[in-house]
Chains A and B, each alone.
Chain A
């Protein structure tokens, strides 16, 4: 136990040496008959603590001991009958010598760039070490306690010795260092600070791999667009799934979850025939539904966009007739009779609100019908109906035009002045504009940017003649919840970019609730494509 305690003291010295700021002198503290000499001079008794300098030598008589203290806190304890020399010391190198006897040393390793102890048969370079060293003219015995020591024998053979190892270096060189037995008095505690520090670091390295893996799981959720922050600073989890109700259709389901609410929606697309298993071909099929120069074999029959907060909902249903061959030369090459394209013979777009506050539980707010040749031969006809002052759907306006006529498709004639019936009615057209009628009194749509100029926060509020309202606010919001800051236009929201699209739908028919979904802008882009009508084409 005594040995153990001494080792602990030495270990404490080693630890304390890191911060020790003792005087710069090297001190010799004799205990008993201790003698000192300088160079080859005569030995003189050391009777009390004294400063040691390079070139001085110390020897202890039988029963005596001495301690050498270094400025950095390092210590050397000399046993009886030992002879120790301070050969040289400066900031580059400290060389000590043990020609005879035994010492126990605790070195912090900071006193010089290199610290070494020479014996008649070995040179020991210190790294930061607690050890015992015994030497005579023929051999050197090293017993490491804790740390690392480098030894070189007279033949130049080098070895590194670590904790609890022992090695003998003779005139013929060194033996292989070996560990002391666990039953040996020189063995240290199985659990001690250096062991625990090292083992903790190794465990931490392996655990770090598991930590990194978990961090990556989280990153993948973000990379897959499943984790984002909305414009109000709330975390939104998003999942999108592709469902195949049958081989002619698919459904995209998008789920948005916040801590206290759940919104979801879907987009269902139904085609005229079986669509390929390779779903990546679907966008091309949809594109081929509109203005194809050859008759498509597959085309879109209907699309439904639906968003809900699980109580209230908004649905937009679009139904498409079969593709028919239409002369679009008025829009395209401006040479009548030369540019025929396939286009749905009809497109119906119906917007419906649902909820306990909606009269009857569900009501169509808006209905747009478009056809070619069904209402009037050779003409496109658009009719828009909207909720009137009685809360029922009523015809708001109707436009007609000939897609083969360059003059008729001119926006100035059918879209530029929506109330100018005379300008719209060219040829066989039959246009009607009822927005000035009393049943549509109070009908107003206001656009604004609530977050200020330059922010992609675009609000469109409609007040209907029966007092009902519908406000759709769109945000382009980054993954960390920042609203895109640029000149925002309505069309910005259907463009692809590095922002998520958040759609917030409010209505006074929703009894204070709102619908708030975060979706990829492409969904809206596709919806827009499918509601594209011939009047949005530019000649």
Chain B
């Protein structure tokens, strides 16, 4: 990460501090955002991580130049001292601290007839400390990302009754891992190692998206979203069935389709009146890659084509409850996910391969509550439990069957 990462980190912090003053001095500026200060802990297969902090700040500066144009700036900073349940639980590091910073700007230009054109630019960096010998800014998986996007929006109607907003989006992401190079490229010369490429995680992604949103009567909102990503790996070479590296570079495509709906139900006559909002989303996704895998373990020496290809489905119901007497909110959600790898085969406990394709299943439940205590200040708590299982019995290098949970609690201030 080096100087670039630290520079961006400092820039994000400076913006968070300086923005309120800027907003006060500049006519026409508006400011909104939130600050979270919490503590939490992570549990994985019976083991517990230490209690640590969670801090998140988000600030947006809005500048409207009239009814047809304007822009806003967005800055986010985050420190997480404990792992989230969706972060590589099976991958080997119980200990993890991360910092996340992003800066972005978006221009909004509106045209008559409900059309809008919205270009954006942004930078994003993530820093990790995952082992005792990693220091901030030196994490193996630190990355920074430069991103740019274009959104073309139309707000119209579906018949008389239903407002319909749709968007076509184009987003470009360039992601660079400054500390991650293949070992062969760093140390391979003296051992006459093959050349798998050097910056094997660096990518350029081109994401095309389409989104539609509908407001239906009876407090129902519906959306649909489709995107396809074309991911070019700048320097990751394709491995063949002999374990040799070709000159061709890896390229993936990832597409996702999600549909969802939410509905506000009638208030419940309990606890001084409770307002429920139920929601459901369904997501289908697949990934295709030209990259394969050659297992160089001498007892196996197995070539697996289409190693990364998979498709998956997710099912996410949730309910949001607002206790109107106290304005306390509670949110309960569940997610079930299935992933089927089309090329990757499973292994027995001793590492030998079977003819079955890898399947992964996960279930997670989260509960979150907030309670206002003064103006925009509220106490907040969240807990998540997750269980992951698979038909993979070989878990020497990655744990495919595990359960974990975490919690955090603290204060949230919205302004």
Contact = CB atoms under 8 A, between A and B. Distances in A.
Nearest to A111: B324
Contact of A235 (B131, B145, B211): B131
Most B CB contacts (10 A, CB to CB) among A161, A192, A221, A234 go to: A221
Contact of A277 (B118, B120, B207, B242): B242
A157 B205 contact: no
Interface in B323-343: 324, 327
Contact of B30 (A193, A228, A479, A526): A193
B163 A520 contact: no
B247 interface: no
Contact of A224 (B118, B145, B229, B397): B397
A203 B160 contact: no
Contact of A190 (B64, B218, B243, B395): B64
B116 to A, nearest CB: 8
Interface string A58-94: 0000000000000000000000000000000001100
Nearest to B30: A193
A112 B130 CA distance: 50
Interface stretch (A37-45, A210-218, A342-350, A459-467): A210-218
A91 B273 CA distance: 8
B415 to A, nearest CB: 11
A235 B70 contact: no
Nearest to A161: B163
Nearest to B94: A480
B50 interface: no
Contacts of A255: 183-184, 187-188, 191, 193
Given A220-B308, A266-B191, A205 B225 contact: yes
A240 B86 CA distance: 28
B140 A209 contact: no
A220 B88 CA distance: 10
B183 A257 contact: yes
B336 to A, nearest CB: 17
B398 A223 contact: yes
A210 B108 CA distance: 23
B206 to A, nearest CB: 11
Contacts of A242: 242-243, 294, 296, 301
A279 B296 CA distance: 9
Interface in A461-503: 478-482, 496-500
A279 B147 CA distance: 43
A145 interface: no
Interface string B30-53: 101000000000000001000000
A277 B303 CA distance: 11
A386 interface: no
A237 B183 contact: yes
B198 interface: no
A187 B225 CA distance: 28
Given A160-B215, A241-B296, A262 B187 contact: yes
B362 to A, nearest CB: 13
Most B CB contacts (10 A, CB to CB) among A160, A244, A266, A478 go to: A160
B201 A206 contact: no
B216 A160 contact: yes
A191 B29 CA distance: 10
A320 to B, nearest CB: 16
A209 B322 CA distance: 30
Nearest to A519: B297
A190 B118 CA distance: 11
Interface string A166-188: 00000000101101011100011
Nearest to A306: B191
Given A157-B160, A234-B131, A182 B91 contact: no
B300 A244 contact: no
Given A222-B398, A242-B243, A522 B64 contact: no
Interface string A273-291: 0000101101100000000
Interface in B142-163: 143, 145, 147, 149, 151, 155, 157, 160-163
B298 A252 contact: yes
A192 B269 CA distance: 35
Interface string B224-258: 01010101000000000111100000000010100
Contacts of A500: 396-397
Given A150-B218, A189-B64, A241-B184, 17 more contacts: A18-B327, A191-B108, A196-B32, A206-B227, A207-B171, A210-B147, A239-B196, A241-B194, A252-B296, A257-B183, A264-B191, A266-B191, A279-B242, A280-B301, A479-B398, A497-B349, A520-B396
Contacts of B308: 220
Contacts of A213: 205, 229, 231, 254
10 nearest interchain CB pairs? Answer: A191-B70, A479-B92, A225-B397, A222-B91, A189-B64, A113-B267, A242-B243, A279-B301, A496-B350, A191-B64
Nearest to A205: B225
A209 B218 CA distance: 31
B193 A243 contact: yes
A202 interface: yes
Contacts of A219: 88, 90-91, 398
B141 interface: yes
B203 to A, nearest CB: 8
Given A183-B67, A213-B229, A499-B396, A218 B133 contact: no
Interface in B75-107: 86-88, 90-95, 104, 106
Contacts of B182: 239
A228 B162 CA distance: 53
A240 B132 contact: no
Contact of B302 (A110, A280, A480): A280
Given A190-B67, A210-B173, A257-B187, A91 B145 contact: no
Contacts of A203: 104, 106, 120, 149
B74 interface: yes
A176 B157 contact: yes
25 contacts: A113-B267, A160-B163, A176-B157, A179-B155, A183-B67, A190-B66, A191-B71, A191-B108, A193-B30, A193-B62, A209-B256, A210-B207, A215-B87, A218-B91, A233-B133, A241-B188, A244-B243, A252-B298, A255-B191, A262-B187, A264-B191, A280-B302, A522-B299, A522-B351, A526-B298
Nearest to B111: A182
B267 A214 contact: no
Interface string A245-258: 00000001101011
Interface string A332-344: 0000000000000
